Amino acid sequence: MSTETHQAANFLRTIVQEDLKSGKHETIVTRFPPEPNGYLHIGHAKSICLNFGLAKEFGGRCHLRFDDTNPVKEETEYIESIKESVRWLGFSWGSHLYYASEYFEQLYQWAEYLVQQGKAYVDDLAADEIRTHRGTLTEPGKESPYRGRSADENLDLFRRMRAGEFPDGAKVLRAKIDMASPNMNLRDPVMYRIIHAPHPHVGDAWRIYPMYDYAHGQSDAIEGVTHSICTLEFEDHKPLYEWFLDNLPVPQRPRQYEFARLNLTYAVMSKRKLLQLVKDGDVSGWDDPRMPTIMGIRRRGYTPEAVRSFCDTIGVGRSDSWIDMSILEESVRQDLNERAPRVMAVLRPLRLVIENYPEVESEELSIPYHPQKPELGARLVPFCRELFIERDDFMEEPPKGFKRLSPGEEIRLRGAYILRCVGVEKDADGTVTTVRCTYDPETRSGLPGSERKVKGVIHWVSARHSVAAEVRLYDRLFTDPNPAGDDWKEHLNPASVEVLHDCRLEPSLAAAQAEDRFQFERQGYFCVDLKDSRPGAPVFNRTATLRDSWTKK
C-alpha cells in the first residue's frame, strides 16, 4: 500500500471536504505535533497517517512540529527518533519542520500582552498550593491571594522571571480566566514556569518555558494551521485553546478537532509507562521489538505498509474503543504473506542421517521463494547425507494423527525427497540425538514419478552447508489485555522473548541484510535485526507467527 492510500471515510474527511468546497479554506494545513519526551508509539502512527494522509489527499501540507516546551524531559535522541519514525512510515514534511521553541519570543511577547491587558498575572503559590486552590469538579476554585496584582507589578515580575532572578518553582505566570468555571482547565491555568535548564534546541537562551496548553494553539496560528487535529483527551482543553486565540492578536485562527485515540490490547500506550519499562530494564530500550513504539515494531519486522493498512482498517471515529492486538498482527501477516520469500530455518536442530546417500556427495535443489509468486524467483538449496530437521518434527512414540517423522514412517522433505525413518541414536539420558533414514532417489520434487503421496512434509537444512544464527522468538509483552492500575507491571509476560542460539538456516540467508524479511517455512515471519545482526553472525527476530496463537488463550 503506497503513501497515497485513500483514507477510509471518516468525519474529518467530510469536514475538510466541506471546508474546501465552501471556500472557507483554499488549502488545508495540518500538523503532527509530538512532544520530544520519548519515542513515538503505534497510537502516534494513527495520528501521523491521519494528518499527513489528509493533507496529501486534498493537496495541502502537513507540518512536523516539535512542541518542545519542557527541556527537562526532552532529548535530541527523541527528536531524531521521531523524524525517523515519520520517514519510515513513508511521509515527508518537506521544508515544513518546525519547533515551538522557535516561537518562544513571540509567545513571550503575547504573554506580556495578556499581562498588560489584565488577563494574566504572576503567582507566588507553590505547585501543590495551586492544585489545592483549583477546587474539584463539584466545588469552585479559590482565587490566589496574588491574583489582584496590578498589570505593572505583574509585568515587572514576569520580566524578572525571564531574566532568571528567581529559582525554579518560585513563581508562575497564570491566565486570569475564571476560578469558578465548571471546566477545570479554565481555572487560571499556568502559562509559564521557571526552569533553569538548557533546552535541546535553543540552548541556554531561556529561564522560563511556556506550558503546552499555551504554546500549542498559538504555534498553530503562527504556522497557518487550518485543522488542528488531536485526540479526545484534549476535548476539555478546547475552550482554553479558543480562549487564548480570542484574547491574543494572532495572525490566523485555527480550529481544533478531536478524534478517538488508539487503545491497543496487550500493550501500554503511555509514554510515562513506556519510559518506566526502559528505565527498569524490563525491555532493552525504546526500540525493543516487544515495545509498541514505531521503532520497536520496525525492528521486530513490521513494514510501513502493514502499519498504514492497520491505521486505515481501524478508521477514525469519535468514540473511544479498544482495538485487539490481533488486528495489528494480522495486518503484518497479510502484508508479509504477499512479499516475504519462503526459506527454511531449523530453530531447534535434530541431526538426521540418510544412510543410503553417498557420504561425500551433495546436490543443489532449486526451490521457489514463493509458491504463488514465480516473479520472486528461486534459490539453490544444497542437499547432502547429513541434515538438520526440527526436533518437534520427530517423535519416537507419536500420538494418533501425528503427520511428521517417526520410526518406520515416511515423510517428504520440502523440495527434496521422501524419507523413511529406520532408526535412532540416543545419549545416556535417552534423548534422541540422531535420526537415521533412507531416501527414495526416484521421489525428488518436480521430477516425473515423484508424485507419490505421504502423510507429511517437513523442512530441513544441510548440516554441512547451513548457516548458524541466533533467533529471537518475540511474543506479546503483557499477558493481560488491559494492563492497568498500580500493578500493571505484574502482567508482564515472562515468555515475551525466547532466544535460541544454535539455529541452522539455509545458506541463502547468509547474505541477508538488516530488515530483510522472510517467512521461515512452517515457523512464522522473521526479520534480520536492525541493531544486533552482524556479517557472519545474523540475528533474526520473529515478527509474527503464521496464525494467531492467542485465540484460545
The residues carrying an active-site annotation are 35, 261, 271
Contact partners, residue 29, CB within 8 Å, separation at least 6: 55, 60, 61, 62, 63, 223, 224, 225, 226, 227
Residues 454, 421: Cα–Cα separation, whole Å: 13
- Burial (CB count <10 Å: 0-12, 13-18, 19+), residue 5: middle
SS3 493: coil
Rounded to an integer, what distance in angstroms lies between the CA atom of residue 543 and that of residue 338?
15
Return the ∠ at Cα 297 (arms to 292 and 303), rounded to 5°: 140
What cell does 278 get? 526502559
Q: State how far the Cα of 32 lies from the Cα of 223, in Å rounded to an integer.
A: 12
The strand pair at 524-528 and 227-231 is best described as unpaired
> β-pairing, 322-323 with 263-264?
parallel
Give the 3-state DSSP-derived string for 128-184, with helices as H, strands as E and coil as C: HHHHHHCCCCCCCCCCCCCCCCCHHHHHHHHHHHHHCCCCCCCCEEEECCCCCCCCH
Order of strands, edge to edge, in the sheet holding 29-32?
Answer: 29-32, 61-66, 97-99
Rg from Cα positions in the chain: 30
- Whole-angstrom Cα distance, residue 11 to residue 7? 11
Q: How far is CA 144 from CA 132, 149, 166, 262, 498, in A?
A: 11, 10, 19, 38, 57
What is the C-alpha separation between 105 and 345, in angstroms, rounded?
Answer: 59
**3-class secondary-structure state, position 245:** helix
- Give the residues across from 372 on adjacent strands: none
CA separation for the pair 78, 286 (Å, rounded): 10
> Which stretches within 248-303 are classed as H helix?
271-279, 294-300
Q: Determine the residue type at 79.
A: I
Number of neighbours of residue 157 by Cβ within 10 angstroms: 21
Neighbours of 253 (CB within 10 A): 13
Residues 6+ apart with CB under 8 A from 310: 327, 328, 331
SS3 246: helix
Rounded CA-CA distance 221/412 in Å is 68
Query: Which helix (H) or strand (E) covers residue 470, if one does?
Result: strand 467-474
Which string of DSSP letters, residue by residue, matches 47-85? HHHHHHHHHHHTT-EEEEEE----TTT--HHHHHHHHHH
Residue with cell 501477516: 333
